[in-house]
Amino acid sequence: MTEPADEKDVIIQLDDVKACPACGEQRVLKARFVHTWKNMQGKAMSGLREAALCPECDRGDPAADELLALFAVDEKLGINNIETFGALVAAWVESVRHQKADETLLPDEHEQWSGEL
């Protein structure tokens, strides 16, 4: 997957997207984009972030629901829906861009993924 050039750039992957690790469902797409945040000292930081659209886990989020509805109607994403897709994926990425980690879940996640190799 290519790297985004700047903060406005979003790279979308529609093929070979891995299953969701949380529920096992096949994810619909993956997006890679530049993400900025402030560290504990208030300094602006920048890095890459990836988000994947899962039809099970993301259900209920308005931006995700609209994008999932498009795939339900046009699974192969025909040329007639490409502009609609662009607008919906942009709205979804913007909503994901503002999501923050639920820090109350971090200790359980750490426990789940740590251990002997």
The pLDDT assigned to 1 comes to 59
Cα 97 to Cα 8, 34, 77, 91, distances in angstroms: 12, 9, 24, 10
**Cα torsion at 95, 98, 104, 110 (round to 10°)?**
90
The pLDDT assigned to 78 comes to 80
**Per-residue confidence of the chain (117 residues) as pLDDT tens digits?**
566 666 678 899 999 999 998 899 999 999 999 888 888 899 998 888 899 999 999 999 999 999 999 999 887 778 888 999 999 999 999 999 888 777 787 788 778 778 765
The pLDDT assigned to 114 comes to 80
3-state secondary structure the chain: CCCCCCCCCEEEECCCCCECCCCCCECCEEEEEEEEEECCCCCEEEEEEEEEECCCCCCCCHHHHHHHHHHHHCCCCCHHHHHHHHHHHHHHHHHHHCCCCCCCCHHHHHHHHCCCC
How far apart, in whole angstroms, are the C-alpha atoms of residue 98 and residue 53? Answer: 15
The pLDDT assigned to 63 comes to 96
Name the pTM for this structure.
0.76
